[in-house]
Structures are given as structure tokens and as C-alpha cells.
Amino acid sequence: MPVPNALRNIAPTVWELPVGYKPGMLVPARIFATEKLLHAMDAGVFEQVSNVACLPGIINHAYCMPDGHWGYGFPIGGLAAMDPEAGVISPGGIGFDINCGMRLVLTNLTCDEVQPRLHHLVDQLFYRVPAGVGGHGFVRLSHDEFCRVVEQGSRWCLKNGYAWPEDLEMTEEGGCFPGADASKVSAKAVDRGYNQIGTLGSGNHYLEIQVARRENVFDEETARAFGITAPDQVVIMFHCGSRGFGHQVATDYLQTFLGVMEKKYGIQVNDRELACAPFRSREGQDYFAAMKCAVNMAFANRQVILHRIREVFADVFHRDPRDLGMNMVYDVAHNTAKLERHLVQGKMREVLVHRKGATRAFGPGMEGIPDCYRETGQPVIIGGSMETGSYLLAGMASGDQAFYTTAHGSGRTMSRHQAKKLFKGQKLQRDMEARGIYVQTVSYGGLAEEAGAAYKDIDDVVEATELAGLSRRIVKLTPVGNVKG
């Protein structure tokens, strides 16, 4: 893909579009990528990241991570920090699947111990964790109780027997964004979400049994601190979010913002998908409170899924989940806006950080991560395709250049439609099993959309984050079993 002529290479893995690239830009647009990844990005990335650079109150730069590709409003892999007093909040900078995120769980099992029971494990996970569009969870809630869930997040799960106390410590923000207010959420959103707690969803959501092979460990000391202590240790990673609930919250407030953005607040944007409102406005604060509800719903969703995973492993191995060492490494969110304190032009200040398909990656010693990770930096979980593997990384002190943010996954290289034309789900399933990856899927069409060739090379993306100083590699995790939404 031809890159804009105005793009400047300011460091080996840092590229910048200057303020003069597009009328209205308030800050430069910065892209983290190797030259190979940069030329693989679609033209929409450059268009969208430069549009983000025009938003009122933006600080330092508009950013795009190495996995960046075209999205809604912001590019996927987009990052922008706003001045809370003068800046805006934009659903297009957060996404429709609010708090789509990753959770990584340990076991003390080895691949040799799991392999004879792998098919049974995957089949049982497929049965116990509903997947696909419209899947309903086993947790039966009234609308009123669901509203309590979205205000409390993982805390509700702990009170109701779906969590261990230490799970909350190993979840970003303790599994609950404070300030969630269910009264700011529409009845339609509640109706779409109240029966979806404990469900995987569709698209690129998955639940995967993975192996940490000795040859794929990059930093043994940090790997041990994260709980990876044995050769060929089996772990479980899953990726999902706030389902139809978060989608409806985003949809509702996009319409609200389109109605007031220009008429009431005089804000003009280059793309209607960047509809926004002043953060301190009534509409901005209402959305912020509703968004937090969707964030908390996603935390609760992943927590209940973990509960089901522990049940399955306990049943299959006839052992208590604690005896199986099924502790969390971490749960980290994508697709959020958060008030955080960062160093800006030499002063610590509060900023509103939009992360769209991007992962928080706090460095060593920072507040807001578990005490046991203070020396290593925050665990960072970056999911690859179901064919290639995923990564556990750690935040770095040098991540301050991008508000301690890194990539969130491989990033697509082709549309879902194109992937379905090129690949056949049944053949892909057979080929993967021949290579040692057993897959259960709701839809062969959906499986074809997620073929490894539809994504960037995860090794390239992770290498770029490390070269850029955003996060560093600890261990690569290779898939052996997969439940696909």
C-alpha cells in the first residue's frame, strides 16, 4: 500500500504525519511500525489517524499501533489522550465492543498430560461456554439484577460465587471501573445484554488452550514471575467483550452526539464516525458513565467464562481447580476511555485516554498494577490468529511515549468477506487438526473469516512493539485447542 508522501521516519519504528498534512490537524499523527508493517497498512489508517489529530483537546499526538488497520472512527490500534477540560469523548475512539479484552489463565498441567484429553476438553468448553451471535449464558438475571452487575463488574461475580478473591486483583482496575451508572443506559441495551453473561460471542472472539514451549520463552525470570514455570506448561487464553450490550451503548450515544455535536457545541469533525461531545458536558458524562457499565459487563462476562473453564478442567481431570493451579495471570481491556495520570510536557496531569483496539501497558513501578508485577511491569496479552499463536509481554518504562499503550493483536490484512472467498472452513478445520490444533466452531463461515492468512504476522507485530519500546516479549504461546465464536 503506498504511504503518504508527507510521512516522515523519525525513528526506526516511528513514523509521523506532520500537522500540515491535513487542514485542521492540531497535533502530528504518529504510527509505530516497521517498514514492512507500515507498507501493509491500508490507506484508511493514514486517513483515520490524521482525522483523530483534528479532535478538540487532543494532547501530544494521535497514535496508531503496529497492528493498525481501518476501523470505525479511529483506526483499530488507535490511541488519543484528551485534555478532560477542553477535550472531547468519542465512541468512535473506543469501539462498539466496549472492553473487548484478553484474559490469561495458568494451569500446572503439561502438554503431555493434556493431549490425551484435548478433544474432550475442547468439546466440553464448546458446550459450557456459549459462542456465536446471540448466544445466551447460564447465569439467569432479571433486568434489575443485570443493572447491578454492570455497576459492580467482577465484584458482583465474587459476591455470587463466580470468582476467587485474587481474580479481582489480577484484573485491570480490579474488574470494575468506578462511576458506572446503569440509569444512563437504555432499556434496549439492557434487553440485549441481560442474558449474555458468560458467553463468548462471534467474530474474532475465541477461547484457546495454549502451550508455553521452552524454546518460546524470551525472558525466563519474568516468565516465572508471571507463573510460567515449567516446560510445555498449558495455559488458557480467551478474548471477548461486552457483547450486544456494549454495541447498543455505543450506538445510542453516537446518535446522541450526532444530534448535539455541531448544533449545541459547534464541533465539526472530518468524519461522522468521530461524533463526539465535550467530555465535561452532560452528554459526555452520561456516555462515560454508560461506557463504564459496558466495561464492567465485559469484566463480569470474562469472569463467568473463567468460572466455567475451571468447572470443565475440574470435571475432565477429576481435580479441584486450585489443585490444577488455575490462577489468573491478568485480564487487560481493549476499547476503553479512562482518566489516567501521565507526564505531559514535564508535568503530571490527568488525561482522558482513548484506546481503540489497543492495550494498556504500564511499566515497572507504576501505580495501578498488582504489587507482584511492580518490578516486571504489567502483563500484556496480545492475541494472534488461531493458527499462529499469541504472546505474553510486559510493559516498559519507555512506554511513556505513548501513554503506556501497545498493540492488542495481529491486526487484519483482509476483510472478512475476502477471507470467506479464499478459505473454506471445513478444510481449514481439517488442516489445523493435522497440524495439532483441534478446533470447535459455531460456523464454518466464521472459521474461514479467522484464517491465519487473514491477519498480519503476530511475530512481526510483537517485534515492532518491542523495537518501539512499547512492550517487550516474555513468552510466545502456541495453540493446541480452540473454541471459535
Residue matched to cell numbers 485474587: 166
Burial class (CB in 10 A: 0-12, 13-18, 19+), 413: middle
DSSP assignments along 444-462, one per residue: HHHHHHT-GGGB--HHHHH
**Phi, psi of 30, deg, nearest 5:** -115, 135
Q: Which of 61, 69, 239, 408 is catalytic?
A: 408
Residue matched to cell numbers 465535550: 278
The three-state (H, E, C) secondary structure of 219-275, written as one string: CHHHHHHCCCCCCCEEEEEEEECCHHHHHHHHHHHHHHHHHHCCCCCCCCCCCHHHC
Please, which residues have CB within 8 angstroms of residue 471's CB and are 6 or more apart in sequence? Answer: 359, 361, 380, 382, 393, 394, 395, 396, 399, 406, 407, 465
What is the C-alpha separation between 360 and 380, in angstroms, rounded?
8
**Phi, psi of 460, deg, nearest 5:** -65, -45
What is the C-alpha separation between 43 and 106, in angstroms, rounded?
40
Instruction: Respond yes or no: is residue 408 known to be catalytic.
Output: yes
Dihedral (CA of 461, 457, 3, 44) sign: negative
What is the C-alpha separation between 95 and 277, in angstroms, rounded?
16
Burial class (CB in 10 A: 0-12, 13-18, 19+), 221: exposed
Three cell numbers written together for 252: 445510542
What is the C-alpha separation between 172 and 163, in angstroms, rounded?
15
Decide if 74 contacts 52 (C-beta within 8 A): yes
What is the C-alpha separation between 185 and 274, in angstroms, rounded?
21
What is the C-alpha separation between 180 and 155, in angstroms, rounded?
13
Three cell numbers written together for 452: 491465519
Strand partners, 405: 360
Active site residues: 408
